[in-house]
Every structure is written in structure tokens, then in C-alpha cells.
């Protein structure tokens, strides 16, 4: 239930059928169970559900008239004009939501401030009417009376009246229009055909509904007009008098012209005008109130004359009308209602002054409307600012959905309603870029795009219809801090630090060409340690991802190449290479190019062995580099006396490092005093297929200071994830560092 103030405007006239004149209004405040008011004055009363009951008993003529009016009128009980404003007692009834009724009396007073014009024509929503002054011969007119003048409201007098209707005939006239033929009917017969005719001492009135039996349609300036062409004949004494009771009303509906409602009507209706014609002006109004030119312009109304027709353009939803929202086939739409009228005044040879008023409720039904989404985001502020509107009062926001989650303000989404002076409103949404439901995409050069996919759920009153409006807003900001990699060498292997940057989920990390995932961490025996802004990773010597560069007496030269790649575009954004040299005593390397590099240690022999005096099976293959205890060889597998054996699907290449001291000739026949030194070496490659790098340790190296069983992950407090490591974590992975 809601409070609604309603204004009823009534007119004072001597007959229930005479034209109403807009006068002072009484304000009536009632409680009604309704979602809104219709634009039409007639349908307003119906929508309020007011039951109007007369407190006085009307005459039979008045009662018939009352049945044909859509709004309550007041009149003088005697049917004659009086200097005293007439009073009407009306009972109005209120029905509440429980169906209970309460009635209250209301006394209406209808003063007439201006006299009637010689001719007044009214085109209402459901009827048309003409009221003209009754011509009376001068008082000194001589002659015998035709009949005794009856009382004004006597039906006996009207029986002598005749009405001449002119209707189109079957033949064409000189102007191309059908020739007119006349039909003369008694007033009583005209009443039976739906034409209500009445008279007072000074005026004659004709009123009829649209589509009456003797009405016809013609085109004026391309606009359809319904015409009733009639002349009322009556006698005063012995004088035959006539009153032109013709009336014409446009029947065209409003149409849409872009974003405006367009209504056209002829400026001059030829059936109502007799030259010469003198225009006295045209005025437009809304809801029974005239609008000044200034107010009309403020509301956006545009009134122009075009080729003899008046065109009124009103912005859809403009002030003065009423907007109703609907959801039709999932599409938000609006209907617009406006109770428009115009008054045109003129003079011609037929009437000293004609006032023509047309009341036309205009409506545009179910016009699809896409709500306006305005992206007010300033990327430098770090948050989305989006408004959706404009909505009338019957629309309210009931939910916001991002992805598959319904959000509330406590989840980091700020919502507010923004009102506007014209009664509409919009909804403002603010969400920080850092919200977990805001998606991000790296664009390169430090730029990233933030995207917010949101669905607004709106409720339409009064039936709670739902409308879902999806929208996606984006903002681009140069705020990306790329991940950074630092490295170093330790006694355990190659240590790497991967700094997350501020967009860590965008990247794939590759270690030596292998994607960094938990499987690689396990197989490579990597040790991990997590910090707030980075995590460190130690790749042990000979671990997966480590690349062999060379072997010399100075040590084993290895590199670890870290590549950061955009997950979506596969573009490499950053590459880091860490090079380390590890001191080794013995090592054998089988290269993919069918070469073997071997470093042997001769210091383990109890008797001194000079590494410079060692060679392979082919004595000509001597070390390429030696020091006091080690010899370095590098040779092709098809040289230096290397033998090849096929074992199943593999080729086994074997050779031997021997000690070959220089023995004096005179001692060659004696037992050699030098130690026997021989180290077998070899490589295994597939007989068919790609050969890979293989590193062997001829002797077991000392165990690491920590054993696998004693390792445990070290995490920074509150950090339980490694953003750069893909896949699922397994139990028992190496950790520490």
C-alpha cells in the first residue's frame, strides 16, 4: 500500500453531455493498491478503483448521460446556468488489500471562470464532442409561433429537432473525393445510433463514440481523421435555425522516430474550417496542464510545423510521462505513457472563435532498451568503476555475479545506487584490480589487461521479474613487474632464486628446456626453499636440467638455463643462464657426437704413476692435459683402439687407460719395476636412435651432507605454494637448500 495524491478536475456545464472545461482542481489523497498510474485521465479513475456515487437523484436524461462519460462531471441540478458555482456531493470508496471498503463523502465545487467560446470541439480518448452556441432570433422578430417553446430539458422539444448527416456517396467529386450525400434523422433516431444530442438555453451539444454509424474516415496531410459531418435543425417560433455540429478527430497513434515519440496531426482540418481562416495559436499540454514554451524546451519537447502538419516529438522517458519496465523474451524493455493534449484556436467565416482541444494518451509498448554501461575506470586508481543505468523506479538491483560467484560488499565489491533529478537511477560498482575474480592478461612491454566479467541481476516490480545483464569491462595498465632470476654456485650444485614479480601465474618456467613441475623437482632431486617474494632452488651436480659445457683439469663446466615463457602466447619474456665450474677428480663423459671425454686420477696407486706417461690402447693416444695426479683424454669412439660390441640393442664402446713408462733398453728383458696401471673406460649408446649426453663417475663420490631421509621442506610462514611449479606435489620430495 502506498500514499498517492490525485487531482480531479471537473467542469461546470448545464448538461452531462456538454464539454468539460479545465478549471480549479480539488486534491484528493487516497491509499490505493496499485503499482502506478495510467497516463489517461479516464483510465486513471478506473485504475484507482474509485466508486463514485451521486448523492442526488439524476433525471433520466442525466442518468443516460452519466453512463457515457468516463470521468465524473458536475452540473447544476436544474440544468440551467447560475451565477452560483454548482456543487456536487461525491462518495468515494477505498478498498484495501483485504477487500474491505470504506466510503467518504466529498463535496465538489466547480466555478466557471471563463465563458464558453462560440464553438468548442473536444477529442477525448473514447469520444468526440462539439458544443456550439445556439443562435436565437432577435427579440423583435415578428411572426406566429410554430410551437410553444418547451422547457429546456424536455424531451418533447427535442423530438421536433432534426439532424442532417453528410456521408460519402458512391460518386467522385471534382476534387477527387467522394461526393457527399445527406441523411436526415430525428434526434430520437440519432440517439439510438449513439449520437447524444442535447441543448440548453444558449448551447447545442453533440457527442458520440469513435466508430459511430455515420462517421467516415479521410486523409488530411497523410494522417487518418475520423469525421462526423452533421447539422442540427431546430425552429424558434417560425424561424428554422441550424447549428453546424460537425466534429473531426485524428485517430493515428504515436510512433518512434529515433529516440523520440512522434505524434502528427493536421494543423487545419478542412471539414471544420470555412475560409477565410485566421489562426489564433496552438498550445500543448500534459496531464491536463498547459506547458509554456520554456518548460516544453526544458523537457526536450520539439514542436514543429511540416507541410501543413504539426509534429510533436517527445524524448522517450521524458518528464511528464510514465515509464514501465518489462522483461520480454529475456530482453529488458520499457513502455512509455504520456497523456498529451493540444489546443488550437482559430476564426473563420463559420464561427467567430473555435477552440479545438484534443486529449490523446500516447504510448509506446515494449520498446527494447539496452541498459547503458559506462566504464568510469581510471586505471591509475587500481580499481574498476562501472555504472549501469538508467532505470525507472520499478527496477532494483538484486544481485551481482562474477564468474559463478554471487558477491556482496564484504567480498571486496562496493555497490551503490546513484539517483538522478528526473527520477531515474543507476548502479555504481567498484572492484579493485587485485580482486581474485578479476582476470589478468599480460600484453607485453610491462602492460597487462584487467578484465571483470560481471552479471547484473535486476528485479522488475511489481511481479519480481528478473533481468540478467552480462557485461565485461577492461582496463590496461603498465604495472607489470616481471619475474627475475638470480643464481650462484655452491658446493651442492647450482643455486637459483626466482623472484615472483607481481604476475606470477602468467609464466611457465623451463629449466634447461624442461618445464618446471613437481615431477622434475623429484626426478632432478631439487632442493627448494620458499620466501615471501621468491623461492630458491638448488639443482645438484649431474641433476636434470643441467647442461654440460666442458671438462678440464680446472673442473667440470656446467650451465643451467632458466626461461620464463608467457603461458598463453608461448613468447619468451626472460632468459637467465648460470654457469658454474665444479672441481672433480675423476669423470667420464659420453657425448652425443660419439666422443668420449675422461678424466682419470692416478694418485690412488701406491707407487707413483706419472699421468703424462699414460695412454689409451692405441699408444699414440696420449692425454691432452695432465697435472701431477690426473690425465684428461678426449677422443672419438672409432679411434684410439676403441672396440665395439653389440649387446642386444646397444653398442658398447670400450677402451683402456694404461700406464706406459719409458723403460731403458737394458731393462726391457728384466721384470718391470714399475706398477701395473690400467683403468677400463667405455660408453653405451643405442644402436638405433638419438644419442644422449651421459656422465659417469668412475668412483663413488662422498655422500651429500644431508640424506634424502632427513630432508624437509622449508616454507616461509603463510606461504604454502610455489607459483612457478606446475603439477601436483608428491610426498617425499627433496627440500632444504
Distances (CA, A) of 622 to 224, 358, 615: 116, 120, 4
Number of H helices, E strands in the chain: 6, 53
Residue 403: the pLDDT is 74
| pLDDT confidence tier of residue 41, bands split at 50, 70 and 90 | very low
How far the first Cα of the chain sits from its last, in Å, is: 74
| Residue 422: count of CB within 10 angstroms of its CB | 12
CATH class of 254-368: mainly beta
Is 143 a residue whose pLDDT tops 70? no
| pLDDT confidence tier of residue 554, bands split at 50, 70 and 90 | very high
Q: Which has the minimum average pLDDT: 174-183, 340-349, 650-659?
A: 174-183
| pLDDT confidence tier of residue 152, bands split at 50, 70 and 90 | very low
* 3-class secondary-structure state, position 271: helix
Q: Where are the alpha helices (DSSP H) in 241-400?
A: 293-298
Q: Give the three cell numbers for residue 298.
A: 526544458
Spatial separation of the C-alpha atoms in residues 585 and 588, rounded to whole Å: 10
Report the chain's mean pLDDT, rounded to a whole number.
Answer: 80
The string of DSSP codes covering 329-344 is: TTEEEEEEEEEEEEEE
Query: Interior CA angle at 533 toward 531 and 538, to 5°?
Result: 50
pLDDT tens-digit series, residues 560-583 = 999 999 888 888 988 999 999 999
Is 84 a residue whose pLDDT tops 70? no
Q: Where are the alpha helices (DSSP H) in 127-175?
A: 155-158
pLDDT tens-digit series, residues 594-652 = 999 999 998 877 677 899 999 999 999 999 999 989 999 999 999 999 999 999 999 99
Question: May I ask the CATH architecture of the domain 587-696?
Answer: Sandwich (2.60)
Spatial separation of the C-alpha atoms in residues 105 and 55, rounded to whole Å: 9
| pLDDT confidence tier of residue 730, bands split at 50, 70 and 90 | low
What's the CATH number for 484-584+703-710?
2.60.40
Spatial separation of the C-alpha atoms in residues 505 and 665, rounded to whole Å: 75
Report percent pLDDT > 90 for the chain: 54
pLDDT tens-digit series, residues 678-702 = 899 999 999 998 888 888 876 543 3
Q: Give the three cell numbers for residue 158.
A: 427535442
Amino acid at each position: 500500500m502506498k500514499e498517492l495524491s490525485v487531482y480531479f478536475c471537473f467542469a461546470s456545464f448545464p448538461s452531462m453531455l456538454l464539454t468539460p472545461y479545465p478549471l480549479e482542481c480539488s486534491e484528493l489523497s487516497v491509499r490505493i493498491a496499485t503499482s502506478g498510474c495510467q497516463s489517461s485521465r479516464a483510465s486513471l479513475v478506473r485504475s484507482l478503483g474509485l466508486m463514485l456515487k451521486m448523492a442526488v437523484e439524476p433525471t433520466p436524461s442525466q442518468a443516460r448521460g452519466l453512463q457515457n462519460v468516463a470521468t465524473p462531471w458536475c452540473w447544476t441540478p436544474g440544468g440551467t446556468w447560475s451565477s452560483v458555482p454548482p456543487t456536487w456531493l461525491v462518495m468515494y470508496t477505498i478498498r484495501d488489500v483485504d477487500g474491505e471498503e470504506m466510503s467518504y463523502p466529498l463535496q465538489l465545487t466547480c466555478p466557471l471562470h471563463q465563458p464558453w467560446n462560440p464553438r468548442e470541439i473536444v477529442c477525448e480518448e473514447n469520444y468526440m464532442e462539439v458544443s456550439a452556441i445556439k443562435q436565437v432570433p432577435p427579440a423583435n422578430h415578428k411572426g406566429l409561433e410554430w410551437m410553444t417553446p418547451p422547457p429546456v430539458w424536455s424531451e418533447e422539444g427535442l423530438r421536433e429537432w432534426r439532424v442532417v448527416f453528410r456521408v460519402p456517396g458512391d460518386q467522385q467529386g471534382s476534387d477527387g473525393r467522394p461526393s457527399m450525400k445527406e441523411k436526415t434523422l430525428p434526434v430520437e433516431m440519432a440517439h439510438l445510433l449513439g449520437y447524444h444530442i442535447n441543448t440548453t438555453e444558449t448551447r447545442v451539444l453533440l457527442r458520440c463514440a469513435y466508430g459511430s454509424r455515420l462517421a467516415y474516415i479521410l486523409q488530411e496531410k497523410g494522417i487518418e481523421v475520423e469525421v462526423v459531418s452533421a447539422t442540427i435543425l431546430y425552429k424558434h417560433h417560425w424561424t428554422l435555425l441550424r447549428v453546424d455540429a460537425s466534429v473531426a478527430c485524428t485517430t493515428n497513434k504515436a510512433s518512434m522516430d529515433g529516440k523520440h515519440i512522434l505524434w502528427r496531426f493536421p494543423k487545419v482540418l478542412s471539414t471544420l474550417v470555412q475560409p477565410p481562416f485566421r489562426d489564433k495559436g496552438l498550445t500543448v499540454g500534459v496531464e491536463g496542464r498547459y506547458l509554456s514554451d520554456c518548460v516544453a524546451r526544458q523537457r526536450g519537447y520539439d514542436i514543429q510545423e511540416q507541410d501543413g502538419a504539426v509534429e510533436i516529438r517527445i524524448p522517450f522517458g521524458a518528464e511528464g510521462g510514465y515509464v514501465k519496465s518489462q522483461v520480454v523474451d529475456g530482453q529488458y524493455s520499457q513502455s512509455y505513457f504520456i497523456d498529451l493534449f493540444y489546443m488550437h484556436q482559430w476564426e473563420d467565416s463559420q464561427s467567430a472563435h473555435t477552440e479545438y482541444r484534443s486529449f490523446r494518451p500516447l504510448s509506446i509498448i515494449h520498446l527494447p532498451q539496452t541498459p547503458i554501461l559506462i566504464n568510469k575506470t581510471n586505471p591509475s586508481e587500481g580499481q574498476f568503476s562501472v555504472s549501469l543505468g538508467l532505470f525507472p523506479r520499478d527496477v532494483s538491483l538484486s544481485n551481482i555475479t562474477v564468474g559463478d560467484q554471487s558477491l556482496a560488499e564484504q567480498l571486496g565489491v562496493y555497490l551503490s545506487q546513484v539517483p538522478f533529478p528526473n527520477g531515474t537511477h543507476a548502479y555504481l560498482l567498484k572492484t579493485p584490480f587485485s580482486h581474485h575474480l578479476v582476470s589478468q592478461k599480460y600484453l607485453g612491454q610491462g602492460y597487462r589487461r584487467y578484465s571483470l566479467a560481471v552479471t547484473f541481476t535486476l528485479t522488475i516490480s511489481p511481479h519480481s521479474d528478473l533481468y540478467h545483464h552480462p557485461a565485461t569491462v577492461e582496463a590496461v595498465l603498465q604495472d607489470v613487474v616481471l619475474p627475475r632470476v638470480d643464481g650462484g654456485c655452491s658446493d651442492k650444485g647450482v643455486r637459483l632464486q626466482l623472484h615472483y614479480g607481481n604476475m606470477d601465474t602468467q609464466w611457465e618456467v623451463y629449466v634447461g628446456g624442461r618445464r618446471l613441475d613437481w615431477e622434475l623437482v623429484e626426478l632432478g632431486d631439487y632442493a627448494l626453499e620458499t620466501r615471501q617474494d621468491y623461492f630458491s632452488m638448488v639443482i645438484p651436480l649431474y641433476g636434470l636440467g643441467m647442461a654440460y659445457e666442458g671438462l678440464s683439469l680446472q673442473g667440470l663446466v656446467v650451465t643451467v638455463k632458466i626461461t620464463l615463457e608467457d603461458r598463453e602466447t608461448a613468447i619468451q619474456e626472460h632468459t637467465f643462464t648460470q654457469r658454474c665450474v665444479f672441481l672433480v677428480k675423476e669423470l667420464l663423459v659420453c657425448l652425443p657426437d660419439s666422443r668420449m671425454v675422461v678424466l682419470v686420477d692416478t694418485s690412488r696407486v701406491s707407487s707413483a704413476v706419472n699421468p703424462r706417461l699414460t695412454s689409451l690402447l692405441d699408444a699414440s693416444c696420449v692425454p691432452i692435459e695432465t697435472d701431477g695426479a690426473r690425465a684428461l683424454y678426449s677422443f672419438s669412439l672409432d679411434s684410439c683402439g676403441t672396440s665395439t660390441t653389440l649387446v642386444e640393442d646397444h653398442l658398447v664402446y670400450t677402451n683402456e687407460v694404461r700406464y706406459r713408462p719409458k723403460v731403458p733398453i737394458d731393462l726391457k728383458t728384466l721384470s718391470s719395476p714399475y706398477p701395473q696401471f690400467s683403468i677400463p673406460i667405455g660408453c653405451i649408446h643405442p644402436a638405433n636412435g638419438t644419442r644422449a649426453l651421459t656422465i659417469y663417475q668412475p668412483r663413488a663420490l662422498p655422500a651429500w651432507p644431508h640424506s634424502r631421509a632427513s630432508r624437509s621442506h622449508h616454507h616461509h610462514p603463510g606461504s604454502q605454494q610455489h607459483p612457478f611449479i606446475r603439477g601436483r606435489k608428491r610426498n617425499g620430495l627433496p627440500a632444504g637448500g
